[in-house]
Amino acid sequence: MSFIPQEILLVKNGELALKGLNRGTFEDVLLKNLRRRLKAVGRFSLRKSQSTIYIEPLDEWADMDEAARCVSQVFGIAAYSRARIVEKDLDAIGRMAPLYLADLLSEAKTFKVESKRADKTFPHPSPEISREVGGYVLEAFPHLKVDVHNPDVVVHVEVREMGAYIHTRQLPGAGGMPVGTAGKAAILISGGIDSPVAAYMMAKRGIALTAIHFASPPYTSERAEEKVCDLLRQVSLYAGHIRTFVVPFTELQEAIRDHCPEELFTLVMRRMMMRIASMVAVREGCGALITGESLGQVASQTIPALACTDAVATLPVFRPVIGMDKEEIIRIARKIDTFDLSIQPFEDCCTVFTPRHPRTRPTIEMLEHAEAAFDFESMCRRAADNTRIVKL
Ligand code: ATP
Ligand code: MG
């Protein structure tokens, strides 16, 4: 006998409903992202109709709890709900509604039924469906009262071509735009709290990510690199696959230490990062760089300092957390489960050779003068050429 699913997920598109002519493409990308994400959880069929995507399990092994969790992490979804499928028969719908929603209804004081008849061949009009199903609910839960204005629970009944659905409570989706609809950018990822949040925020706007991490062995350890991979794996639950590169940065950092004034160490280093990241990003087809910089957080994140780093980037630099307090950034880090990974203590290359008194009001001339002391161009090129790809 063929498998008949009992439960499905109904997904409402988010912002992409506004995209007019592009809507088709956006929905296709969303479907592709959902398919890819759900593959690990079981076999599902995905179908779109108007602004709803129907996710139906294809066998009894598909895990609906896990599927719902995956759906809640995919960008481009405004809301989703779980629904029970019933045969298109008024009595069957009426019997199932109080059973399927028993947990919610037993805790509620008031309810109402809202019905939609998309399949006009169904012989009962919507008000009749609501009335009948309401009767079954009241019979099963006599303590309930109907309240059409402000009910505790709304029982939704939808009668469509494929069957009838009973559901309640739309859950909020991840919002944003489907990853891949806004091009590609490279996140400069450290092991800190801010850059994973920055990555998440830009993925939410539909950007597909490539990651670039600077490592300075033996000053930085293998564990630091593993930590970055752990962080990226967590971010990729939302952002999809992230091609990840590690840049060998030791030679440059030692040259900076040997040739530049100490107060400019960090800024020269950040300009080298921008130069190398620009090269790698362009090579990978990215249109922008992303960092986790937040205004005033450290000396290298003042307006003059940011102007100095921007000056050497050949791509636009997105800094989605620039206006956020640490508290706000941490709130997001906790929400996306990167916080606990981020606070593991491993040396980042930024904490190697940190100046005691960094300049907060540098000028581009000062930096160019400091950089003239060594052949940074060939070192940057070498670092970009020797970048290695790592598997997450
Ligand atoms: P985070 O929590 O992201 O580490 P932070 O406050 O520690 O941020 P900095 O160390 O000054 O800030 O780094 C600022 C930004 O520079 C980071 O958010 C990140 O985008 C980038 N960055 C810093 N270190 C590295 C690194 N080792 N590899 C790649 N990018 C880095
Ligand atoms: Mg850092």
- Give the residue whose CA is nearest to atom 12 of ligand 1: 293
Statement: residue 10 has pLDDT above 80: yes
Question: 71: Cβ below 6 Å to ligand 1?
Answer: no
Q: How far apart are the CA of 276 and the centre of ligand 1, in A?
A: 15
Statement: residue 138 has pLDDT above 60: yes
Per-residue pLDDT at 188: 98
Question: 46: Cβ below 6 Å to ligand 1?
Answer: no
Statement: residue 1 has pLDDT above 70: no
Per-residue pLDDT at 168: 85
- Give the residue whose CA is nearest to atom 21 of ligand 1: 188
Per-residue pLDDT at 237: 96
**Residues 70-100: pLDDT tens digits?**
999 999 999 999 999 999 999 999 999 999 9
Q: Residue 52 and residue 8: Cα distance in Å, rounded?
A: 12
Question: 214: Cβ below 6 Å to ligand 1?
Answer: yes
Per-residue pLDDT at 26: 86
- Give the residue whose CA is nearest to atom 10 of ligand 1: 350
Q: How far apart are the CA of 284 and the centre of ligand 2, in A?
A: 23
Higher pLDDT, 157 or 356: 157
Ranges of each domain in the chain: 7-174, 184-390
Question: 213: Cβ below 6 Å to ligand 1?
Answer: yes
Per-residue pLDDT at 44: 96
Confidence at 13, pLDDT banded by 50, 70, 90: confident
Which-ligand-closest: CA of 215? 1
Q: How far apart are the CA of 78 and the centre of ligand 2, in A?
A: 32
**Residues 150-198: pLDDT tens digits?**
999 999 999 988 889 999 888 999 999 999 999 999 999 999 999 999 9
Three-state secondary structure readout of 307-346: HHHHCCCCCCEECCCCCCCHHHHHHHHHHCCCHHHHCCCC
Query: Interior CA angle at 233 toward 318 and 244, to 5°?
Result: 60
Question: 186: Cβ below 6 Å to ligand 1?
Answer: no
How much of the chain, in percent, has pLDDT values that exceed 70?
Answer: 98
**Residues 208-244: pLDDT tens digits?**
999 999 999 999 999 999 999 999 999 999 999 999 9
Per-residue pLDDT at 170: 87
State the sign of the Cα–Cα–Cα–Cα dihedral 379, 384, 389, 392. Answer: positive
Statement: residue 349 has pLDDT above 90: no
Which atom number of ligand 1 is nearest to the Cα of residue 290?
20
CA distances to 85, 96, 158, 162 from 133, in Å: 15, 9, 12, 19
Per-residue pLDDT at 124: 95
- Give the residue whose CA is nearest to atom 17 of ligand 1: 292
Per-residue pLDDT at 17: 53
Question: 350: Cβ below 6 Å to ligand 1?
Answer: yes
Task: Name which CATH class applies to 184-390.
Answer: alpha beta
Which atom number of ligand 1 is nearest to the Cα of residue 212?
29
**Residues 283-313: pLDDT tens digits?**
999 999 999 999 988 888 999 999 999 999 9
Task: Report, as an integer, the average pLDDT of 243-268.
Answer: 95
Per-residue pLDDT at 73: 96
CATH architecture for segment(s) 7-174? 2-Layer Sandwich (3.30)
